[in-house]
């Protein structure tokens, strides 16, 4: 089958047609991909922002159809439609038991287990998935069953960007009705954060992006105001009287905009770091400002979501027309075009590219 392999840091993805799968083990599920989103985190593995071992089949935002299940699997059967979760939700470890499945203890083990075979060697898929492949094997804890009538292209977006962004607004920031929100970055994650803030009832939502066309698009998803970074202070003054926003969500992963999000939040407000920055990048805070501003600075992993309950909720919001998934797909591609999709994302030309495996 076909799969896109990252052989070394900074290399183009190599799309091969001679990749196979390991034998299906106990507790594992064999899935045929129907769609995969291309997320910035894939690019961040390629450029070293997110450190991972190579060679690796990239892709962690996908949906497909279960082909076969290994011994002991009870959650799904062949024929089920599933979202692939890039973090397992094993239901047994400490984090899962305390309702923080997004921190599941099994993430590392699942992520490092190789399920692809290339040139006779077993290699892993990104985060235990590898959705840039026609088929994959993953742990039962990484699949979430969905109703068969929902198109799998939009379902694939739930696998990362939408859960991450909507979850950051609803679960992490806990945006309240009538509040003011600023979102930095209008890619798949930022647009989802804007939608999450809208669903939560925010009164004003300011979208900030350096690409003008993104700002126009952001308005269609619920942004009430938009600006480029240079105009942020002016908009902050207009919208909040200079006090700052109740919530600031950083969906880029850049130390400058992380600091910018903290500064954009009001005293007593909340800044959430959703974007993934480099291990070597640092953000400076002085020792006085946390006391004086009483601000909350929160991290957000996978939208602080329990995937088993939150993903079905997102699809119910979609069914009722409250979450727009269709318009987030701004480019449809084949696996062969994945390197082009990376370039388009780097230039800020797309909200989401989606790979079609049909
Ligand atoms: N100021 C303003 N906007 C910026 C800046 C900046 N300094 N740098 C990038 N942007 C904008 C881009 O123009 C783009 O619209 O941020 C957006 C990022 O979108 P994508 O590249 O599509 O990334 P996305 O998939 O949304 O992921 C965002 O979340 O999950 C993490 O690893 C992921 O860190 C990444 C972030
Ligand atoms: Zn992602």
* Nearest of 157, 168, 204 to residue 350 by alpha carbon: 157
Classified by CATH at the fold level, domain 3-160+304-356 comes out as Quinone Oxidoreductase; Chain A, domain 1 (3.90.180)
User: Minimum-distance ligand to the CA of 183?
Assistant: 1
Rg of the chain (C-alpha set): 20
Q: What does residue 98 show for φ and ψ, rounded to 5 degrees?
A: -90, 15
Ligand 1, residues 188, 226, 252: which to mutate, most atoms within 8 A of Cβ? 252
The string of pLDDT tens digits covering residues 232-264 is: 999 999 999 999 999 999 999 999 999 999 999
For the chain, list the strands marked E by DSSP. 3-6, 14-16, 20-21, 28-38, 56-57, 62-69, 81-84, 116-118, 121-125, 135-139, 143-146, 180-184, 204-208, 225-227, 245-250, 265-273, 296-299, 329-333, 352-356
- Distance (Å) from CA 283 to ligand 2 centroid: 22
User: Minimum-distance ligand to the CA of 85?
Assistant: 2
Residue ranges of the domains in the chain?
Answer: 3-160+304-356, 174-299
> How much of the chain exceeds pLDDT 90, in percent?
100
- Distance (Å) from CA 238 to ligand 2 centroid: 33
CATH architecture of 174-299: 3-Layer(aba) Sandwich (3.40)
265 ligand 1 Cβ < 6 A: no
- Distance (Å) from CA 353 to ligand 2 centroid: 12
Residue 283 pLDDT > 90, yes or no?
yes
The pLDDT of 165-180, averaged and rounded, is 98
252 ligand 1 Cβ < 6 A: yes
**Residue of the CA atom closest to atom 19 of ligand 1:** 187
- Distance (Å) from CA 252 to ligand 1 centroid: 4
**Residue of the CA atom closest to atom 22 of ligand 1:** 187
pLDDT (0 to 100) of residue 99: 93
Distance CA 175, CA 171 (A): 8
The pLDDT of 15-20, averaged and rounded, is 98
* Nearest of 186, 231, 223 to residue 204 by alpha carbon: 223
Name the average pLDDT for the chain: 98
The string of pLDDT tens digits covering residues 72-129 is: 999 999 999 999 999 999 999 999 999 999 999 999 999 999 999 999 999 999 999 9
Ligand 1, residues 187, 188, 258: which to mutate, most atoms within 8 A of Cβ? 187
- Distance (Å) from CA 102 to ligand 2 centroid: 13
CB neighbour burial string for 19-33, b if at least 16 within 10 angstroms, e if fewer:
bebeebeeebbbbeb
User: Minimum-distance ligand to the CA of 276?
Assistant: 1
- Distance (Å) from CA 303 to ligand 1 centroid: 16
157 ligand 1 Cβ < 6 A: no
Ligand 1, residues 166, 185, 304, 348: which to mutate, most atoms within 8 A of Cβ? 185
pLDDT (0 to 100) of residue 278: 97
303 ligand 1 Cβ < 6 A: no
pLDDT (0 to 100) of residue 358: 76
The string of pLDDT tens digits covering residues 295-333 is: 999 999 999 999 999 999 999 999 999 999 999 999 999
39 ligand 1 Cβ < 6 A: yes
């Amino acid at each position: 089958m076909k799969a896109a392999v990252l052989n070394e840091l900074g290399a183009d993805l190599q799309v091969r047609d001679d990749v196979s799968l390991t034998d299906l083990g106990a507790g594992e599920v064999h899935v045929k991909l129907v769609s995969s989103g291309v997320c910035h985190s894939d690019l961040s593995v390629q450029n070293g922002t997110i450190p991972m071992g190579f060679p690796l089949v990239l892709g962690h935002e996908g949906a497909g159809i279960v082909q076969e299940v290994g011994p002991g699997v009870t959650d799904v059967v062949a024929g089920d439609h599933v979202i692939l979760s890039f973090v397992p939700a094993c239901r047994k470890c400490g984090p899962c038991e305390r309702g923080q499945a997004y921190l599941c203890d099994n993430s590392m083990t699942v992520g490092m287990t190789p399920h692809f075979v290339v040139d006779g060697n077993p290699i892993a898929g990104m985060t235990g998935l590898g959705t840039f492949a026609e088929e994959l094997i993953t742990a039962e804890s990484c699949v979430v069953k969905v109703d068969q009538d929902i198109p799998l292209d939009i379902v694939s977006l739930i696998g990362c960007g939408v859960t991450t962004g909507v979850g950051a607004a609803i679960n992490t920031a806990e945006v309240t009705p009538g509040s003011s929100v600023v979102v930095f970055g209008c890619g798949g994650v930022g647009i989802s954060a804007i939608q999450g803030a809208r669903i939560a009832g925010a009164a004003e939502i300011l979208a900030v992006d350096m690409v003008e066309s993104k700002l126009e698009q952001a308005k269609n998803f619920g942004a009430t105001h938009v600006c480029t970074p240079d105009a942020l202070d002016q908009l902050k003054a207009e919208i909040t009287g200079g006090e700052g926003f109740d919530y600031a969500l950083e969906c880029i992963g850049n130390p400058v905009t992380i600091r910018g999000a903290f500064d954009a939040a009001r005293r007593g407000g909340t800044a959430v770091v959703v974007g993934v920055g480099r291990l070597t990048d640092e953000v400076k805070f002085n020792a006085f400002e946390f006391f004086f501003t009483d601000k909350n600075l929160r991290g957000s992993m996978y939208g602080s979501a329990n995937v088993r309950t939150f993903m079905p909720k997102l699809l119910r919001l979609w069914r009722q027309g409250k979450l727009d998934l269709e318009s987030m797909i701004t480019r449809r591609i084949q696996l062969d075009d994945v390197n082009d999709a990376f370039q388009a994302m780097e230039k800020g030309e797309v909200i989401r590219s989606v790979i079609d495996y049909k």
